Homo-oligomer: A and B are copies of this chain.
């Protein structure tokens, strides 16, 4: 989230280049995540190579833990109220290269190598194929 706040608006960038010119890698842990009242955060799954946004799903703390441990995506189904490993039945698994946390700790970007036909339950490469018209 990037809602304007008085404290944050004039704050310096979180990531800066040191004098050596080498990029600083800033890390976060599970404790930095701020799960919502329902105990979940949105996870944006992005193709690590093409940078295409493949899908959006949700993770609770346990889904994040399993994702980090197995390096495969695990999500939390809000309707079924259970964890599900992506691609277990379809073979469309996602190998996790990196997980990024936003400034507020309430959203994740999961960079993956997509296996199989794609990320979408329709079989498409991405869930985002429709363009919104006015």
Contacts and interface: CB of A to CB of B under 8 A. Distances in A.
Contacts of A57: 1-3
Interface residues of A, number: 68
B8 A121 contact: yes
Number of identical protomers: 2
Interface of A: 1-5, 8-15, 25-30, 32, 42, 44, 46, 50-53, 55-57, 64, 68-69, 75, 77, 79-80, 84, 86, 89-90, 98-104, 107-109, 117-125, 127-134
Instruction: Kindly list the 4 A-B residue pairs having the minimum CB-CB distance in the complex, ordered from nearest.
Output: A51-B51, A99-B132, A102-B127, A56-B107
A102 B2 contact: no
B130 A27 contact: yes
A42 B1 CA distance: 10
